[in-house]
Each structure stands twice: as C-alpha cells, then as structure tokens.
Chain A
Amino acid sequence: MAAVFPVKEIISGPKLVPLSSDKKLTGATIAFLAKLLSGFTVRWVNCAPDTCQRVYFANHTSHLDAVVLWSALPRELRALTRPVAAKDYWGKTAWRRYLASSFNAMLIDRHEIKVHQSPVDTMLREIGDVYSLIVFPEGGRNSDGDMGEFKSGLYYLAKKRPDLELVPVYMDNLNRVLPRGEVLPVPLLSCITIGNPIYLETGEPKAEFLKRARESVRKLKDG
C-alpha cells in the first residue's frame, strides 16, 4: 500500500472514479435500451477502439446523440468516456441528474459562461489524464439533415491539450429516430461511423481547423 500512495499523488487531476454498482447497472440498461431503440451498427473506419484520451466529436441531430454514441463504445471505453451534456436539460430534476451520472455525463452550463470558468477549462479539468470526451461542436441540434458550422470549443480543446486524439464521428438516421421536439422515439435503424483521428497542425488558424474538422465528419457520411 505504501508504495501506491506516492504514485497517486504524482498524477495530477481527477482519477478514474468507479461508479457505484447501481449506476453501473443503470448505465448498462441505458446502453442496452439505446441499442434497442436506435438499432445502431458501429463502423470503425481507420480507427480502432482504444483507451487513450480522445475527443469524439459528432454531428448533432437528436436528443439521443450523446447517449447513443456513448452506448456505441465498447464497455471498457464507456467507463472512461464522458459525453458533454447541457446542464439546463440534464440537471433539471434529480431523476435526470441520476441518469446523466450513470452514463458518465459531464454537465456544462451553456448560459453562464464566465472568463474564469469557460466550458473548455472545465472539461479539461474534469477529464484530467484519464477520461475521454464526447462533444457536439455544432452547439445546438440541427433540424434538417445539414450540419451547422462548428463552434470554436473544439479548437481550444486541441490547442490546450495537443495530445488528445480528435476523433470524428458521423451519426446517421438518428434524427429520424427522435427528431427535434418529439418525445416518443420511432425505433428505426441507424449507423454510427467513427473515423480517422485528426490533430491541430502547428500554427493552423482557428477557422481553417474548424472547417477541416467539420469536413472530416462530413466525409464519413459518404464513405
């Protein structure tokens, strides 16, 4: 034991906190239901499941996106991956907070963004050197199938932590399973494509990087 303690102190940031068993069970149930409802198949294209720290960034068309993408990961990765979700939705009631914590969600306040607690800093602090992230850089959900412009958060994440692998993900057909403004999902089939990681090039301008990132997601739609 004595040998273990100093090691722990050396590692900065949060450690891997195992969930309580009831949350684990709820999480497994959520993943199962997500699979059942959205009938997804996962394609890993030029990218393999890995426990290294990653930022999965995907197009956003449905409330289900975060949960479904989290459920699509292998079980070992689910424990290490935190979807970023809106605090104003998932933090509203105790039940929603409980659900959010069982799928490892990181609740970010979209409205009260201040200089000393920008969402990017919060995210980086929370993931430490253990967790991966799931983000939706479009900001809001898109009602038609077209992807919106990416917000700059992804750029700052990449700039502050250049070691993170930025993995593009395209989620197809989920907007038909649960479109904007609907409560009841229609259990169609969907497809999740996980692509080749990208990195921020040295000196790459923000706009160009965001455009490239968006293009990397869009490319998965056709391929």
Chain B
Amino acid sequence: MNGFSAFVRKEATEIVRTWRIWVLPGMLLMFALTGPLLAKYTPEIIGAVGGSQAAAILKAIPKPTYLDSYAQWAKNLTQIVLFAVIIIYGGLISGERKSGTAVLVLTKPVSRTAFVVAKALVHSVFLAVAVTVGTLVTWGGTALVFGKAAGGPLWTSAMAWLAFGVLFIAIMTLLSSLLGSQAGAAGIGLGVFALISIAGLWEPLAKYSPVGLANAPMVLAAGKESAILWPVVTSLVLSCLLVALAAWAFRTKEL
C-alpha cells in the first residue's frame, strides 16, 4: 500500500465514521422515499384541505403519473442536493489545512497532488453511490405507488445530474484549495451555479458544454429528449482539468 491508497482509504473511512455519512445520503434517501408519495398524493391533499375551489382547479390538471415522481427527484437533485454539495465541499481541502491534519499527512510520502486527487476522487465516488442508491429507491418507490415506472427517463436524468454533481465537486475542490474559508468558497460556488444556470438558457452553449446539464435532468425526467452526450463528456473533461488546477494551486500554497 502506498501513500495514495492509504490516504484514499482514510478519506473513505472518514465518510463512514463522521457526519458525512448522514448528511448527503440522509437527504437523498429522504427525497427518494417521500418523492413518489408526494407526487401521487399532493393533488389529493390539496383537494382535501383546499375546499371546493381547489378541487375545481385540480380537476382541470391531468392526473399525476410516474413522470411526476421523476420530476420531483430531478428537481430535488438540481436544486437542494446541488446546493448541499456546494456547501459541504466548500472546505474539502481548506478544512484539513485549518485543522492541521494536512501538515501531518503532507510531511509524509504523500504528494500534494495525490492529496487533492484522492479527495476529489473519493467524494465523486461517494456522490455517485449515494445518488445511485437514491435513484434506485425512487425507482422502486415510484413503481410501488404508480404501478408503472419506466427506467429510461429516471436513469438518464440521474446520470446527467451526476456528471453535473461531479463537476461541482471539482469546482469546490479548486475553490477550497484557493480559499481558506469554507463559507467563502461555498459563496463563490453558488455564484458559479447561478452563472451556469443563466448560461444554460443560451441553446448553442447548452448543447455543447457542461452548462447544458443545469437543465437537462429536468427535461429528461419529464420523458423528453435532450442531447446530453456533449455536455456530459465536456463536463467530465472539465472536472479533470479543474482538479489538476486545484492540485497545482495547492502545490504553490505554503502550509
């Protein structure tokens, strides 16, 4: 076992042994469990508490389908979960600098590049596992509640979002290498998200770059077509470049 793999193992164990195991998976699991039920019964609940006027409005809108459950999942991912990712990972690198643990690790045979790459890698895998489990639960829950749940729209939507989520882990890796403050990095990360969302409105850019992933999960979850190959590929390439840049930035820092 070399320094890199020992550090990867530490990072993975840290997820399981600290608050990290509860926050993202907990949030995803809660959304996965409640999403299908909310999609199915929200109109009925509104009808029950809203009186005759609400009931009349509800009659005019179509009955919810399994796609509404998927839309719920995609909406939670693109909004709440992404925000959580940005805030949680604002201190991915700077947290270890602040606590002094980076000093003990980096004076041993672990390069700063290995340190940064290991973190970005482990947390991308963690996010992938958590989102996959959450999507599975959503899928199963939707099938139970609606009796029908085609896999295609849900999984393409979730995987497109995952590429976007990984891109944000890379962005936060870079920001937390550059900035000492978790809140500062998170603030800038949210700013980047806002910019990407706005840029995604310009179709040519959305078609060929990662900004297309801001909206694609919602479109795909609705069962519509969205060409995501270019956005996904460019997003993964950009993620690698951002992590490389983060490693370079961290190497130039004094600890």
Same complex: no
User: CB within 8 Å of A: which residues of B?
Assistant: none
